[in-house]
Structure 1
C-alpha cells in the first residue's frame, strides 16, 4: 500500500467526522436569517485550509457572502491547478420529507445524509482532503494549487464574476478543476464536457383597463388568457422546433464521435418513462433522440402562466391581464442575450390584435464546452481509470452552471468537471446524500490527477 493510500485508510473516520462538522452548518445563501451561518461556514473552511498547510488564506467579503482564497505555490516547474467549489447550500423545504434532520449528518447504508452532502460540500471537501493527504504523507504537492471557493452559487454567483475579472493575475492557472457534478452510475465515472446555458424572460399581456363581467362583455371583448395562449403557441411548430427566427443560427451539430459517445451511454428510455410515470418521451424536436434533446439541443420552455380568477369556486370574469415566465437552455456558441432579444422581438411581432405586451429580460448564463480531446480532460480520464479501474464516459449535461463559463472566459484556461456524486443523491431535494465509496476514491482520483499533470 502506498504512503498516500495508507494515510487515507488510517484517517478515513477522522475525515468523515470533519465533513460532518461542515455539514452541520446551515449555510443557506438564499435566506437572510442564515447570513451568519454562511459566514460561519466560510470561516470554518478558511481555518481548515490553514490547518492543512495552505498559504495566503483569505476570507474576502463581498456585498453578499464571502469568497475564500488560498494557495500553495512551491513547484516552480509544475502547472498550477485552481480548485473551485461552493460552501452554500439550498433551502431544506419541505422539512417533513427528511428522514433525519437536514443539518444533523447521518450515515445509513454507506451514505452520508445531510443538506450539502453532494452539492457541494462533500465534493469540495474531497479536494481539501486530497491536498492535506499529499502534504502530510509526502510533505509536498506535485503541482501548485489555488482554491477559489464561494458562498453564493445557489443564488447565481452574483459577485464572483467581477472577482474573477478583477483578480486574473492572482487566480492565473493552467487548469480549473470543479467537482460539482455526478458520475454516470455506481462505479462508472463520467466527465462532463458540456453544460447548457440559460436565459429567462417574463411576458405580461394586457387588454381592457379592468377585468370585465363575462355576461355583459363575453363574446365582444378580448380575453387576456386566450390571447396569451395564442401568443405562446406561436413559439413552437408542430414538430417541437422553436419557431423563433434565427434561434438556431449559432447551434453547432454534434460530431459523429460525440454521437457515438452518446449512444454508448445506453440511456434507457423505458426506465426513464417508468420512473416519471409517462407513456412517452415526445417533448422537444422530433428529429433528434431523447438523449440529444436533453443535453445537446437548445430548448424554450414555458415555466409558468397565470391570469384571471384562480380562487375556489367560479367567478365569471374576462381577465384583462395574463402573464408567463419563459426560460431557454442554450448550447455552445449560442449567446443568451442575443436569444433573449430574438424571443422578445418574436413576442412583440406576434402579439394578437387588441392587446399590449411587455417583455422583461431576466437572468442569463453562458453555455460551456471543452473539447473531449483536450489534454487536461484526457489526464482526468486517466486518473479515473487509475482509481476506478474503468475509463469514464463523456457526457453533455443538460443543466447549467454559469460560473463555469465565467472561469473559462476570465482566465482563458480549460475547465475540467470531475464529478463524484451519483444520480439519485437528491441534491436540492429532501434526503440529500453522498455515497461514502466515492469519498475515498474521489480523494485518490484527485491526487492521481495532480500527479499525472505534473509531467
Structure 2
C-alpha cells in the first residue's frame, strides 16, 4: 500500500510539472505572437453582432467559422428548427486515447447599443485601445505597431469586447496555442458558439434537442462573465435564472395640465413609484409573499466555499461610489445567491429640457427577477402579479384599456411576462468538477475562488434538461468591463490569462 501511495504521489507530481511546463510554453508562445493574436481579435470585434441584427449575426458566425477552419477545426452551423433563428457555430476535435469529452461554450451575439452614450472617440464596432480604464482617466492611444511592446494593463473598448467575443477568442486561441507548442488536448473537444444568448436563448432548446446525439459529452465548460472582483480566477458551478416583466400603470386618457388638474387627477408616475416601493423594504429585502420560499439551501461543501470567497464589499462600494449597500448587513456573495427583484428602468413622460408641466397618462417599469435553485420562472413572476393585485390593482395583459375598465377600476396595471429560465447548479464534488478546479488552479499562483453560483444568468439548466450533462463556468473578463452597457471593454492581461486558463482546461 505504501508503494502504491508513493507511486501515485510521484505521478501526481509529474503531471503537475508537465502541466505547469505546458502553461509556461503557452505563455512564451503568446508573448512572441501578441500582435497577431490581438489583430485577429480586433477583426472579430469590428463586426456588428447585435442580437437582433440578422445580417450582423450571420457575418459574425462566418468570421468565427473562418477562425476555426484556420485552426484545422471543421466548422458547421447547427440550425434550430425555427426558420430564421440564429444558428450555433459548431466544431469538434477527436483526440486519440481520450476518455472524456468536453464542450467549450461561448456566445457571439451582443447587447444592443446606443452610440450616443459611449465616450467621445469610442464607437461600439470600431474598437480602440486605451492606456487605462476610462474611470482611471484612460486615454485613446494608437493601435500598437508590430515592433511596439503591448502593455497588459491597456484596455480594448468595443461592444462584446468582454461579453462574449473574448470568450470565443480565448477558447479558439488556447486550442491554437496548444498546437503551436506541439501539444494535443487530453480530452475530446467540441466547440459550441451560440448566437442569441443576449435575447434569452429562445431557440437554444431546439438546437440541443435536434442535435443531442452530436452534443453528447461529459461536461460543458462555459466561458462567459467576469473573474472575481479581487482579480483572482474563479470557477463557478451555477448561475441564477432570469425572467423579465413589464408593469404599466394607467391614469387619465390624455395628458393633463399639472396646474389645472394637479392634486386631483391621479398621477401614474407616483402610483407606479408607490407600487414599486411596496415590493421591497428599506434594506432591499423583497416583501412579495413567498418570494424566498422555494430556495434550495446550499450543501455543506457549498457553504464552506462561500465562506472562503474573498470579501470585496468595501472595495466595490468605494469603486462604485455609494456608502450604504442593500441587504441589511449581508455580504455581496450572500446576496447574489438569493432571488432578487431589480427595477431596470422607469418611463413616464419626459425629463430635462423636454420636461413639460403635465400629468402623464401612464408610467412603465421594466423588472428583472433573478432566480436561484428551486425557483420556477413563471411561478416567481406570478408571485409579483399576485402582489400587484393585493395592492388593489386590476391586472390585465391587454395593451388597450377600455372605457368600461377605466370607470370600473380605480387602479389599472398591464403586466407582461417574458419566457425566462430557471437557475442551475452543478455539484462541486463531482470528479470532473474536481479536475476543472485542479486545471484552473494550475494556471495561476494565486488561490482560485470557488463560487457555487454566479450572480448573472445563463440558460444552463437546458443542458441538464435536454442533454443530462453538467456545466461549469470559467469566466475570464475583468470585473469592471461594463458588459451590457456603454464603454464595454476588456483588459489585455485578462485575455492573456484566459488563454492560459483554457490551455490548462484542455489538458486537464
Q: Normalising by the residue count of structure 2, what TM-score does the alignment of the two structures yield?
A: 0.77
CA distance in 1, matches of 2:451, 2:26: 33
Give the aligned partner of residue 87 of structure 1.
108
CA distance in 1, matches of 2:314, 2:92: 48
Q: Alpha carbons of 1:215 and 1:262: their partners in 2 closer, same or farther (altered >3 Å)?
A: same
Q: Alpha carbons of 1:257 and 1:10: their partners in 2 closer, same or farther (altered >3 Å)?
A: closer
Give the aligned partner of residue 400 of structure 1.
456
With 234-243 and 145-154 compared, the bigger mean Cα shift is at 234-243
Q: Alpha carbons of 1:224 and 1:273: their partners in 2 closer, same or farther (altered >3 Å)?
A: same
Give the aligned partner of residue 39 of structure 1.
58
Question: Structure 1: 5+ residue runs without aligned partners?
Answer: none
CA distance in 2, matches of 1:177, 1:123: 11
With 305-314 and 386-395 compared, the bigger mean Cα shift is at 305-314
CA offset digits 1:218-239 (Å, max 9, x no partner): 5544333333233223212455
CA offset digits 1:88-128 (Å, max 9, x no partner): 34447344345698435645522451434433233322322
Give the aligned partner of residue 175 of structure 1.
219
CA distance in 2, matches of 1:207, 1:120: 42
Q: Report whether the alignment pairs 1:249 with 2:293.
A: yes
Give the aligned partner of residue 490 of structure 2.
433
What does 1:351-362 align with in structure 2 at a 5 Å threshold?
A: 351=392, 354-362=410-418
CA offset digits 1:287-324 (Å, max 9, x no partner): 6334312x111111223233356464875544443322
CA offset digits 1:226-265 (Å, max 9, x no partner): 3323322321245532222221111133455544433433
Q: Which runs of 4+ in 1 moved over 6 A?
A: none
Contact 1:87 1:149 in 2 (8 A): yes
CA distance in 1, matches of 2:22, 2:357: 77
Give the 3-state SS of the residue equivalent to 1:188 in structure 2: coil
CA distance in 1, matches of 2:369, 2:58: 33
Give the 3-state SS of the residue equivalent to 1:147 in structure 2: strand
CA distance in 2, matches of 1:221, 1:27: 50
Q: Normalising by the residue count of structure 1, what TM-score does the alignment of the two structures yield?
A: 0.85
Q: Alpha carbons of 1:9 and 1:333: their partners in 2 closer, same or farther (altered >3 Å)?
A: same
Deviation at 1:8, TM superposition (A): 5.8
Give the aligned partner of residue 367 of structure 2.
326
Give the aligned partner of residue 96 of structure 1.
119
Q: Alpha carbons of 1:177 and 1:309: their partners in 2 closer, same or farther (altered >3 Å)?
A: closer
Contact 2:104 2:189 in 1 (8 A): yes
Aligned CA-pair RMSD: 3.2
Give the aligned partner of residue 122 of structure 1.
166
Give the 3-state SS of the residue equivalent to 1:340 in structure 2: helix
Aligned length: 446
Give the aligned partner of residue 132 of structure 2.
none
Question: Structure 2: 5+ residue runs without aligned partners?
Answer: 1-17, 130-142, 145-149, 394-408
Give the aligned partner of residue 147 of structure 1.
191
Deviation at 1:17, TM superposition (A): 1.3
Contact 1:427 1:433 in 2 (8 A): no
Q: Alpha carbons of 1:382 and 1:398: their partners in 2 closer, same or farther (altered >3 Å)?
A: closer
CA distance in 2, matches of 1:279, 1:364: 33
Q: 2:382 aligns with which of 332, 341, 356?
A: 341
CA distance in 1, matches of 2:284, 2:502: 42
Q: Alpha carbons of 1:409 and 1:445: their partners in 2 closer, same or farther (altered >3 Å)?
A: same
CA distance in 1, matches of 2:434, 2:35: 30
CA distance in 1, matches of 2:26, 2:258: 76
Give the 3-state SS of the residue equivalent to 2:491 in structure 1: strand
CA distance in 1, matches of 2:297, 2:318: 30
With 308-317 and 404-413 compared, the bigger mean Cα shift is at 308-317
Contact 2:348 2:364 in 1 (8 A): yes
Q: Report whether the alignment pairs 1:24 with 2:43.
A: yes
Give the aligned partner of residue 69 of structure 1.
90
With 197-206 and 227-236 compared, the bigger mean Cα shift is at 227-236
Q: Alpha carbons of 1:121 and 1:349: their partners in 2 closer, same or farther (altered >3 Å)?
A: same
